[in-house]
Amino acid sequence: MANISLLREKNTVHRDDERNPGTRLDLGPVKDVRINRSAIERRAATLGTRRTVKKEVQAAWLLHAVKTIDLTTLSGDDTDGTVKRLCAKARQPISAKLLADLGVTEIFVHQPLTTGAVCVYHRFVATAVEALQGSGIPVAAVSTGFPAGLNPFPQKIEEIKASVKAGAMEIDIVISREHVLTGNWRALYDEVKAFREACGPAHMKAIIATGELGTLKNIMRASIISMQAGSDFIKTSTGKELTNATLAGSLVMLRAIRAYFEETGVKVGFKPAGGIRSAKQSLDWLMLMKEELGDDWMQPNLFRIGASALVNDIERQLEHFAYGRYASMQYQALG
- pLDDT category at 163 given cuts 50, 70, 90 is very high
- Is 217 a residue of the active site? no
Of 172, 232, 284, 313, the active-site residue reads 172
Hey, how many other C-beta atoms are within 10 angstroms of the C-beta on 211? 21
Of 38, 53, 119, the C-alpha closest to 86 is 119
Taking the C-alpha atoms of residue 107 and residue 95, their distance in angstroms, rounded to an integer, is 14
pLDDT in tens, 175-192: 999 999 999 999 999 999
Say if strands 139-142 and 69-72 run parallel, antiparallel, or are unpaired: unpaired
Domains of the chain by start residue, with CATH: 4-13+26-331 (3.20.20.70)
| The pLDDT of residue 72 | 98
Give the DSSP letter string of 117-163. Answer: EEEE-GGGHHHHHHHTTTT-PPEEEE-SSTTTT-S-HHHHHHHHHHH
| The pLDDT of residue 334 | 53
Give residues with Cβ within 8 angstroms of 93, minimum separation 6.
66, 69, 71, 113, 114, 115, 311, 315, 335
String of b and e for 146-163 (b: at least 16 CB within 10 Å)?
bbebeeeeeebbebbbeb
| The pLDDT of residue 166 | 98
| The pLDDT of residue 51 | 75
Taken in order 301, 179, 307, 200, is the CA torsion positive or negative? positive
- pLDDT category at 4 given cuts 50, 70, 90 is very low
- Looking at per-residue pLDDT, the higher value among 5 and 249 belongs to 249
- Looking at per-residue pLDDT, the higher value among 126 and 18 belongs to 126
- Is 240 a residue of the active site? no
Residue type, 187: A
pLDDT at residue 230 tops 90 = yes
| The pLDDT of residue 11 | 59
| The pLDDT of residue 14 | 45
DSSP E strands in the chain: the ranges are 69-72, 117-120, 139-142, 170-174, 203-207, 233-235, 269-271, 305-307
Of 89, 271, 284, 313, the active-site residue reads 271
| The pLDDT of residue 335 | 45
| The pLDDT of residue 244 | 95
For a pLDDT cut of 70, what percent of the chain falls above it? Answer: 93
| The pLDDT of residue 54 | 87
| The pLDDT of residue 332 | 67
Say if strands 305-307 and 69-72 run parallel, antiparallel, or are unpaired: parallel
Of 67, 235, 267, 313, the active-site residue reads 235
Helix (H) or strand (E) holding 77: none
For a pLDDT cut of 90, what percent of the chain falls above it? Answer: 87
Taking the C-alpha atoms of residue 322 and residue 99, their distance in angstroms, rounded to an integer, is 9
pLDDT in tens, 80-117: 999 999 999 999 999 999 999 999 999 998 899 999 99
Hey, how many other C-beta atoms are within 10 angstroms of the C-beta on 291? 14
- pLDDT category at 10 given cuts 50, 70, 90 is low
Give residues with Cβ within 8 angstroms of 125, minimum separation 6.
139, 141, 163, 166, 167, 168
| The pLDDT of residue 41 | 94
pLDDT at residue 7 tops 70 = no
pTM of the model: 0.94
- Is 172 a residue of the active site? yes
